[in-house]
């Protein structure tokens, strides 16, 4: 009985952690958001992806429906596949956003794109967009 109670508590804690947005979404820096975003894409983890991806309103996990997030994420994650990545530059934009040029390496392919990071609630940063066409070779590779 005692073991069952412990298992139930662990399951409840895991569920609460997985669905919680507060305190685990975004990153304190644009670079941290980019690293979080690409790690989630590489792991094909839709919830983690939804915590790193967002807008000035907050994470996609808290603002988009699960269906919309997973549909968009599925497509984007294919283009974000990588064995390694390198953040080449980080520059401010005119709207307070940060533009990060990131190089992705996947198998024998190398491509780079500009990613936009925005600051949301609680001074947390989220990746809000990038140019998938710049990563076209990776997107269509097998």
Q: What is the pLDDT of residues 91-117, one digit of tens each?
A: 999 889 999 999 999 999 999 999 999
In a domain, 79, yes or no: yes
- 4 inside domain: no
Sign for the pseudo-dihedral over CA of 65, 67, 68, 70: positive
Question: Is position 111 within any domain?
Answer: yes
* Within a domain: 20: no
Q: Cα separations (Å) of 32 from 24, 53, 66, 68?
A: 12, 12, 24, 24
Does 64 fall in a domain?
yes
Q: Count the Cβ atoms, other than its own, within 10 Å of residue 129.
A: 15
- Going 45 to 48 to 53 to 54, the CA torsion angle's sign is positive
pLDDT band at 61 (very low <50, low <70, confident <90, very high): confident
Domain containing residue 55:
29-140
Total domain count, the chain: 1
CATH number of residue 95's parent domain: 3.10.450.50
Q: How many degrees, rounded to 5, is the angle at CA 116 between CA 127 and CA 141?
A: 80
- Residue 134 within any structural domain of the chain: yes
Instruction: Give 10-53 pLDDT, tens digit per residue.
Output: 333 333 333 333 447 999 999 999 999 999 999 999 899 999 99
């Amino acid at each position: 009985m005692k073991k069952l109670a412990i298992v139930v508590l662990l399951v409840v804690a895991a569920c609460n952690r997985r669905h919680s947005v507060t305190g685990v979404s975004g990153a304190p820096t644009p670079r941290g958001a980019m690293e979080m975003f690409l790690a989630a894409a590489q792991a094909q983890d839709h919830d983690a992806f939804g915590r790193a991806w967002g807008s000035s309103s907050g994470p996609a996990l808290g603002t988009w429906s699960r269906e919309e997030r997973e549909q968009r994420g599925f497509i984007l994650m294919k283009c974000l596949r990588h064995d390694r990545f390198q953040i080449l530059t980080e520059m401010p934009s005119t709207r307070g956003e940060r533009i990060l040029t990131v190089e992705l390496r996947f198998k024998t392919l190398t491509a780079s794109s500009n990613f936009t990071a925005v600051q949301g609630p609680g001074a947390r940063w989220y990746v809000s967009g990038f140019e998938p066409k710049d990563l076209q070779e990776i997107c269509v590779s097998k």
